[in-house]
Amino acid sequence: MAAALRLVPAARPQPARAPFVALIVAFLAAGLVGLLVLNTVIAENSFRAHDLQARGALLDLTQQRLQWQVNSVDAPAALAARARKLGMIPAGAPAFIRLSDGKVLGVPTPATVPSPVIFASPGPSTGSSSGSSAGSSTGSSTGSSTGAATTAAPGWTVAPAPAGAHR
């Protein structure tokens, strides 16, 4: 007898591979573009950070310079020099008032103008200020209290303070 014919299942249609491959390529391209953008942003931020660090260092130096200026202006010697330029003189001894009974403690003294040390102009070296003796080579004052000029340093003499001057 003849072979019986039987029904064969229909062939399954194969999905097209082109759209799947295109989707994978698109994902890879998007990933590469994303990495390129990320790398560019990181490099830009690195340059910005370097510029900010350089600016911060410059601002630190400026702050240190300004702090040094403030410290030099606020130094006691600088304040005293500015006060002298304004005609101020050091205050005398203060007195205090005790508030509970109104008693004055201490004896107030008025401020007096201190006598300045007057330096004479450099003159020719004499035998005593030539540096040959031990006393004058140190640069210290070797004069007596008789009012004579004394040696301050080789070539310089210090004039005596006026009579009655207090220091």
Reported as a single tens digit per residue, the pLDDT across 151-167 is: 445 555 555 555 554 44
pLDDT confidence of residue 114: 74
Residue by residue, DSSP assigns 35-50 as HHHHHHHHHHHHHHHH
Model confidence at 145: pLDDT above 80: no
Model confidence, pTM: 0.40
pLDDT confidence of residue 3: 78
Higher pLDDT, 53 or 135: 53
Reported as a single tens digit per residue, the pLDDT across 94-124 is: 899 999 999 999 998 888 877 776 767 666 6
Reported as a single tens digit per residue, the pLDDT across 41-97 is: 999 999 999 999 999 999 999 999 999 999 988 888 888 888 888 988 888 888 999
Backbone angles phi, psi at 59, to 5 degrees: -65, -35
pLDDT confidence of residue 123: 61
> Cα 64 to chain center, whole Å?
2
- Largest Cα–Cα distance in the chain? 162
Q: What is the mean pLDDT of residues 8-32?
A: 90
**Sorting pLDDT into bands at 50, 70 and 90, what band is 25?**
very high
Higher pLDDT, 28 or 157: 28
CB 93 within 8 A of CB 106: yes
Of the candidates 117, 120, 142, which has an alpha carbon nearest to the alpha carbon of residue 129? 142
